[in-house]
């Protein structure tokens, strides 16, 4: 079997080296490029791989003029992070698990009831700072898996290049610095009041 194959190959090579075979192969080369040139009026459509047409476009130009056209990405694409701060309980789990330390969170305890997240968890902390540095992020997705309220998610947005690298830091906090200061003061005041109340209670106990 092997021997037969060898023979066939040798014959094939010998067969292709005559003058007319060379001319024939030169012409077939020209006809190939000519065919591609003629098919240049067709263009591939930007379609997702699961679309029916995806594998049915063997001819035509394959280039997409990217900013104007783009191949669709899956709906569950895992690219840019997004935090739905309304649902965040500022538990700091995401910042702790992040392998590159690109999440920075600061927290202030609340002084009154500020409601619950959409899955019913009670919110006890404000987040005056919730920054994710997308330039450092390695898109491992660990932070989204640990998030207890599923508020930190990855979105299918992948084109977010910036001229200034500082713009790669995304600020998700919903508090302005002034509001944060105010909440901080409120919290400190409450602590003082509680301490005063405690001291008063202690004094009353001693007396009594």
Partner 1 sequence: MLAFVLTLVLLLGIVIVLAYAERKVAAFMQDRLGPTEAGPYGSLQSVLDVLKLLQKEDIVPAAADKSLFKLAPILIFAAVFAGFAVIPFTPDLVPAGIGIGVFYLLAIISLDVVGLLMAGWGSNNKYAMLGAMRSVAQIVSYEIPAGLAILSVVMICQSLDFQEISYQQGALMNQFPGLEYEINWLFGLEALGINTTTIGGITTWNIFRAPMLLVAFVIYFIASLAESNRAPFDIPEAESELVAGFHVEYSGFRFAVLFLAEYSMMVLVCLVAVILFLGSWNTPLPNIGPVSLAYWTTGTVGSVSGILWGGFWLLSKTFVLLFLQLQIRWTYPRLRVDQLMHLCWKVLTPIALGVVLIAGIWRLLMI
Residues engaged in binding partner 1 (CB under 8 A): 26, 29-30, 32-34, 36-37, 39-40, 60-63, 65
Residue with tokens 């901080």: 184
Start-to-end C-alpha separation, the chain = 109
- How many CB atoms are located within 10 Å of the residue 62 CB? 8
147 binds, among partner 1, ligand SF4, none (CB under 5 to 8 A by kind): ligand SF4
DSSP state of 109: E
Q: Least distance in Å: CB of 66 to partner 1? A: 11
Smallest distance from ligand SF4 to CB 155, Å: 12
- Residue whose pair of structure tokens reads 């409601």 in the numeric block: 115
- Residue 2 or residue 19: which is nearer to partner 1 going by CB? 19
Piece of the chain touching ligand SF4 by CB under 6 A; list 4-12, 14-22, 59-67, 94-102 = 94-102
Cα–Cα nearest to 130, from 161, 108, 110: 108
User: Shortest distance, CB of residue 183 to ligand SF4, whole angstroms?
Assistant: 17
Single out the residue of 129, 142, 180, 186 in contact with ligand SF4 (rule: CB under 6 A): 142
Regarding beta strands 103-109 and 152-154, do their DSSP bridges make them parallel or antiparallel, or are they unpaired? unpaired
For the window 14-53, what string marks contact with ligand SF4 as x by the rule CB under 6 A?
----------------------------------------
* 180 contact partners, CB below 8 Å, separation of at least 6: 108, 126, 128, 173
Return the one option of ligand SF4, partner 1, none that residue 50 interacts with (CB less than 5 to 8 A, by type).
none
CA distance 29 to 38: 14
**Residue placing its CB nearer to ligand SF4 in the complex, 51 or 86:** 86
| Sheet with strand 169-171: strands edge to edge | 103-109, 125-133, 169-171
Report how many residues bind ligand SF4 under the rule CB under 6 A.
30
Instruction: Give the nearer residue to partner 1 in terms of CB position, either 7 or 25.
Output: 25
């Amino acid at each position: 079997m092997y021997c037969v194959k060898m023979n066939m190959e040798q014959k094939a090579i010998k067969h292709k080296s005559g003058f007319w075979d060379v001319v024939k192969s030169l012409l077939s080369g020209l006809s190939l490029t000519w065919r591609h040139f003629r098919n240049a009026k067709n263009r591939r459509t930007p379609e997702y791989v699961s679309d029916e047409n995806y594998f049915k476009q063997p001819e035509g130009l394959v280039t997409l003029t990217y900013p104007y056209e783009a191949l669709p990405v899956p709906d569950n694409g895992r690219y840019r992070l997004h935090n739905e701060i309304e649902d965040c309980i500022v538990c700091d789990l995401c910042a702790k698990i992040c392998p590159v330390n690109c999440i920075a969170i600061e927290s202030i305890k609340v002084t009154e009831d500020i409601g619950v997240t959409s899955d019913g968890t009670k919110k006890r902390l404000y987040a005056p700072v919730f920054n994710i540095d997308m330039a450092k992020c390695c898109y491992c997705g660990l932070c989204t898996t640990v998030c207890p309220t599923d508020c930190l998610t990855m979105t299918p947005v992948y084109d977010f290049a910036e001229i200034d690298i500082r713009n790669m830091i995304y600020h998700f906090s919903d508090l302005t610095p002034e509001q944060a200061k105010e909440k901080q003061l409120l919290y400190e005041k409450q602590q003082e009041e509680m301490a005063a109340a405690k001291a008063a209670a202690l004094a009353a106990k001693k007396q009594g």
